[in-house]
Structure 1
Amino acid sequence: MRDRARGCLLGLAAGDALGAPAENLTPAEIRRRWGRLTEIEGGGTDDTEYAIYAASLLVRHGHGLSAQDVAAAYRAEIIPRVAGPMRGAGFSELGTVEALRRGLEPPLTGLVHAHGWSDGLAMRAAPYGIFCPGDPAEAARLVEQDGLVSGSGEGILGGRAVAGAVAAAMGGATPDEVVSAALSVIPADSWTARNVVRVRDVLASVPAPGGRNLERSSPGGSGPDGAGSRGSDPGGLDPRDPGPADPASGGSELVEALHRAVVVRHYPWTDVAPEAVALALAAFLAGGGEVEASVTFGVSLGRDADTIGAIAGAVAGAARGERGVPARWAARIGPVTGKCLPVVAGRHVLDVADELAEGL
């Protein structure tokens, strides 16, 4: 469990950092700039910092965590340190801070602003899955307590889906079982569930790059290079191939099909939970559960690329463990700076993962 926990949060931080420069870009623009984005250029965003903060709440309160505990923590540890703008914070988190300052309590704090459907909860849901290995329902219940403070509706459902997926991956589920677990903890007629089903259908119908079928492989061991065992995983996309982000490989057809299935093109913002969660799970399936293949495909989809990469990396990292994260990516992950949340400055995701594992 410790190895899977470390893989999960390391994968989250790596996906966040890899996708950060591609945030809000189109797949075509990403291809123009990088061809295929495979190397981490800088640090992560609020996704990693909020995941670390969520983990700290679990370490303190365990399965007894309540929305009131989360609101009290915001008031004691986050709001007093917000002297100016919260750099990089999402709309839902900014709205929550203002609601708490006004004296509101959850669930009103997540209902009063107009961004309850944001992927802010989904981006930080992975620790709840780590804390409930093999128990998607409990992971979803816990993350909802966090979500009631900052979100509502589909925003909470997106967090539930990610927490459920990570919990299943922590328990050794196959990629298909992981996605089924995500669907099991949200209503079948929800926007999020419909999007997840749509991308799963796209992956079953659109040819994979190079003519390979996107067969789902079960999580396996890791190779000596720290990037996972490719030889025993024929269903995954080999990160060394041109891959889905290269139009010459035919992968652009898959990217466009996924966009047609779930992207709300007319909406000006990209942090839409049903969209980001569905695209991240699609990337996880397309990558056969491998961290590098899943994350690089995820960030090639553009839109909220850092969050898509973070979710895909978290789920794949939980499935593959720490050695499943490429060593060159792991070397680029350092302690967070606290640029958005000063309370977590200096903390490293591996230390946080160890704390969560100790509480299991």
Structure 2
Amino acid sequence: MRRPIDELPEHRSRVRGCLLGGALGDALGAPVEFDSLGEIRRRYGPAGLTEPAPDRFGRVGLITDDTQMTLFTVEGLIRGDDATAVQRAYLRWLDTQQHPSPPPADGGFRTGRLREQGWLYSRRAPGNACLSGLRHREAVAPARFGEPGPVNPGSKGCGTVMRSAPFGLRARSARHAFELAAECAQITHGHPTGYLAAGAFAAVVHYLTEAGTPEAGTPEREEPLARAVRRAMDLLSAYPSHKETTEALRAAVSLAAEGAPSPERVESLGGAWIAEEALAIAVYCALVNPGPHDVRQALLLAVNHSGDSDSTGAVCGNLLGALHGEAALPRDWLAHLEGRDAITGLADDFAAQSADGHEATDGWLMKYPED
């Protein structure tokens, strides 16, 4: 979607917020991803994790495959804005998981700036379905909505959701964001719930980028995030096999209205290893901490549980970053974030490409060459 040039600063802030917020949540949750809530409390105290913690090697702020794949989603959309371009980008990510460092330049041939980032060549517990799905390599036609996809047809892991925020940041409409995210999710995961949850997440992100313009008939006091979730659920309901994702989101919305949030309430929504649970937990944590000054608390709630903490942290950060923009993110946490400058640069390029008058200069094509 092309935007007037005078809208670019606000849009750029939201894109930065979404990508950096997701990376913050991812890095915050990574050290406790495989720990139970009891183990987290024994290690960090009764309140659990209260700030970014070092991993077992003493490093703070390292991102995981969640952010890695999200960045390659952005790169794919910059290059082609379709499923083929995104699949090629994911194959470049797969190379980062199979080699120790970027490939050398060969006769001036370039694979793009992102694949040349050495910090991305770290294997941080990538999902099995993501790896096995990409090893098919050949392009596949997506299934009709509601039917199993051709790759890993029984898999609905959260690897579909955790990488899908970028589809909502520049789509022509919420439906376009939904359907492109769902199609690209089928590159690795074929279960309908897996790809429909990805579509619903992308739609929420898209609606958040329009948060300043509520539709007619909106309840006066409805928060922008609650409105975006409601509208995404309305859209989701039109697709076959939506029931699991719809029920998970309804549970999150209902739980958010019931009282004070807690890790135990988070865990009542599941473990987040599967797509609809990861989405529901992230939505719940954002709904109970919806303001621009609540981001820190939302991310802490999103990672202090016995499940896939980095993925729920990432998705929650994507949501609140897209809603409030970069300025709402904790500055002290950003200071330690791995790849911060590269993520910011990629976000700015993604935002700039959507502005009227953008041209693909020689410098641009060096960063994003044609496949």
* Amino acid in the other structure paired with 1:184: D
d(CA) in 2 for partners of 1:19 and 1:305? 5
Name the SS of the counterpart of 1:120 in structure 2: coil
Match of 1:197 in 2: 250
Change (3 A) 1:78 1:322: closer
Structure 1 position 93 matched with structure 2 position 130:
yes
d(CA) in 1 for partners of 2:325 and 2:33? 26
Partner deviation per Cα, 1:330-349 (whole Å, 9 max, x = no partner): 1111328xxxxxxxxxx721
d(CA) in 2 for partners of 1:83 and 1:53? 16
d(CA) in 1 for partners of 2:20 and 2:93? 24
User: 1:24 touches 1:303 (CA, 8 Å); kept in 2?
Assistant: yes
Query: Alpha-carbon deviation of 1:286?
Result: 1.2
* Deviation >3 Å, runs of 4+: 68-75, 78-87, 106-112
Stretch of structure 1 that moved more, 313-322 or 112-121: 112-121
User: 2:64 touches 2:124 (CA, 8 Å); kept in 1?
Assistant: no
Match of 2:181 in 1: 143
User: Which of 154, 159, 179 is matched with 2:229 structurally?
Assistant: 179
d(CA) in 1 for partners of 2:78 and 2:139? 26
The gaps in structure 1 that reach 5 residues or longer are: 209-243, 245-250, 265-269, 337-346
Match of 2:34 in 1: 24
Query: Alpha-carbon deviation of 1:20?
Result: 0.5
Match of 1:358 in 2: 352
Match of 1:224 in 2: none
Partner deviation per Cα, 1:304-351 (whole Å, 9 max, x = no partner): 110000000110011111110000111111328xxxxxxxxxx72111
Change (3 A) 1:191 1:46: same
Match of 2:80 in 1: 61
Match of 2:324 in 1: 320
User: Which of 273, 276, 280 is matched with 1:274 structurally?
Assistant: 276
Match of 2:308 in 1: 304
Structure 1 position 45 matched with structure 2 position 59:
no
d(CA) in 1 for partners of 2:130 and 2:314? 18
Count the aligned residue pairs.
Answer: 292
Change (3 A) 1:28 1:181: farther
User: 1:24 touches 1:304 (CA, 8 Å); kept in 2?
Assistant: yes
Between the two proteins, what is the percent identity of the paired residues?
29
Q: What TM-score does the superposition give when structure 2 sets the normalisation length?
A: 0.72
Stretch of structure 1 that moved more, 273-282 or 189-198: 189-198
Match of 1:158 in 2: 197
Partner deviation per Cα, 1:222-280 (whole Å, 9 max, x = no partner): xxxxxxxxxxxxxxxxxxxxxx5xxxxxx3xxx334433x326xxxxx52111111000
User: 2:22 touches 2:67 (CA, 8 Å); kept in 1?
Assistant: yes
Name the SS of the counterpart of 1:177 in structure 2: helix
Match of 2:87 in 1: 71
* Amino acid in the other structure paired with 2:243: S
Match of 2:6 in 1: none
Name the SS of the counterpart of 2:52 in structure 1: coil
Match of 2:166 in 1: 127
* Amino acid in the other structure paired with 1:355: D
Query: Alpha-carbon deviation of 1:22?
Result: 1.4
User: 1:294 touches 1:312 (CA, 8 Å); kept in 2?
Assistant: yes
Match of 1:344 in 2: none
User: 2:151 touches 2:187 (CA, 8 Å); kept in 1?
Assistant: no
* Amino acid in the other structure paired with 1:37: L
d(CA) in 2 for partners of 1:124 and 1:190? 22
The gaps in structure 2 that reach 5 residues or longer are: 1-10, 54-59, 100-121, 213-223, 355-371
Name the SS of the counterpart of 1:111 in structure 2: coil
* Amino acid in the other structure paired with 1:147: A
Change (3 A) 1:151 1:185: farther
Q: What TM-score does the superposition give when structure 1 sets the normalisation length?
A: 0.74
CA-based RMSD of the aligned residues comes to: 2.5
User: Which of 334, 341, 345 is matched with 2:338 structurally?
Assistant: 334
Change (3 A) 1:73 1:297: closer
Query: Alpha-carbon deviation of 1:82?
Result: 5.2
* Amino acid in the other structure paired with 2:348: D
d(CA) in 1 for partners of 2:329 and 2:98? 36
Change (3 A) 1:33 1:87: closer
Stretch of structure 1 that moved more, 321-330 or 156-165: 156-165
Change (3 A) 1:18 1:73: closer
